[in-house]
Structure 1
Amino acid sequence: MEFFLEAKAKDFADPFYGTEGNTLNNTIEKREGQSSETCGQMISYAAALLSRQHRTFAFSIVLCGQYARFLRWDHAGCTVSDKFDYVEEPDILLEFFWCYARLTREERGFDPTVVPASAAEATLLSDTLSRYIKESQPQRRLSATRS
């Protein structure tokens, strides 16, 4: 999966406050109702993506009503854009997809240091797992029963 997009029908599902933030708890994250549920969904998607792929970061988009935001997730957290009206300004989304399509794998967040295992490394892993499985099997004791 390259990135994910979450779409909600209503504006109130937006998981973030505007640029003014929430002065009550000094956060941009909304923590009530549908907003909180949307945020939780997106966090679980990002965590799954970053834990199952060799990634340094990943992008996502959230659409709530006619508004959208871009998000950049990494292992430390998330950077969130201001929301914009994608109905009135569809070029913003189009430009994002156009630019994203031209990025390299590394620029899309794939970890360039990860390479396939060599044949020797694959053999070592296979041998080690086989030995582990064999050694972890319970020893069967044959007991002679006399009648």
Structure 2
Amino acid sequence: MKLSCILVGLSLFWAVPVFAQVSDPQVQALVEALRLAAPQTGTPNDGLYSDWQIKPENIPRWSRLCIGEEMKPTEFEKNLTKAREVLGCVMGDVLKEEYPKSQNNEAIAIRRAAAWWMTGDPNQYNQGQTATYTQKVLQLYQQQRR
């Protein structure tokens, strides 16, 4: 009886799909690549915040979810350590979602995550201006990983 339970348990274990593990260094490299790829508008009050050029409405929600503290955009912009922590949390989740959707292809997963960052739609990773941007993020990501 016990052996049959173990065998059933093992067969259930093997039936669970295996997803690629996303490491902290991968997430941090992606966060840095997004920072480096951020558009430099040259306009001090362009309505975007921090080195990552983030829309202000995202900052309180993301910071509340990730660090349990709702930050104002100006606070976020001034605190690089917390900004990296929040963005690592957000982009770590995005990258974990995009790995299986890319058949565990790291380059495609990075580009899909970058497309999500830019447009909100990871499926846009290979279309128009988004493709150019996601390719740039991938190159910067690969430089960070070396």
User: With structure 1 as the length reference, what TM-score do the two structures score?
Assistant: 0.21
Quick one: higher RCO (CA 8 Å, sep 6+), 1 or 2?
A: 2
